Amino acid sequence: MSAYLFEMLIPHRPISHQAKNRENLQAWKDLIYGRARREWQGGAPYQKQGLRFTLVYLCDDSPADIDNIIKPIQDALVGVVFADDALVSDVDSHRRFISDGIDIGHLPSLLVQGVLQGEECVYIRVSIAENLEVYL
């Protein structure tokens, strides 16, 4: 596993980019943006190509669609963590039901916190992308 540039845990149910209530969507983006600004330790936003965006959504029994929650989160990180979401070349997204029980033995400590809380949350990590053969 490569070293990461940024990670955070958002202890809320995510909002889809297809949400009909645009105010809720904007509030979700604002929440992520604000948290990212407080937690980003890298100074200026990262400016180089080749980022990997990883998302883990710990959900209840009626989850949001995983592919529809990625875009608002990436958009909210623009200008804080990375200069443009076009710098992201790799995206990993994972959805797991909290009720299924999750083995925390090899998870990052921040994600372990989310699992132990037992509530819907989203874990986000930004790292440098690996060579393609690592993923295949």
Residue 3 has pLDDT above 80, yes or no: no
pLDDT value of residue 116 = 96
pLDDT tens-place string over residues 60-118: 999 989 999 999 999 999 999 999 999 999 999 999 999 998 999 999 999 999 999 99
Q: Is the full-model pTM beyond 0.85?
A: yes
Residues 6+ apart with CB under 8 A from 114: 9, 11, 56, 58, 121, 123
Q: Domain 4-131 classified CATH 3.30.1330.70?
A: yes
Domain ranges of the chain: 4-131
